[in-house]
Amino acid sequence: MGAWDIGHFDNDTAADFGGRVDDAPPEKRADVLRDALTAVVGTSPQDYLDDGEVAVAAAALIATQCPGGEPVTTPYGPKKPLPPLPADLRPLAVRALDRVTAENSEPLELWTDGGAGEQWLAGVAALRAVLAAAPGE
The confidence score (pLDDT) of residue 136 equals: 66
Contact 4, 10 (CB under 8 A): yes
Element (H, E) at 99: helix 89-100
* Residue numbers in the chain where pLDDT is lower than 50: none
The confidence score (pLDDT) of residue 110 equals: 86
Average model confidence (pLDDT) across the chain: 91
pTM for this predicted structure? 0.94
CA angle 6, 122, 117 (to 5 degrees): 60
The confidence score (pLDDT) of residue 9 equals: 86
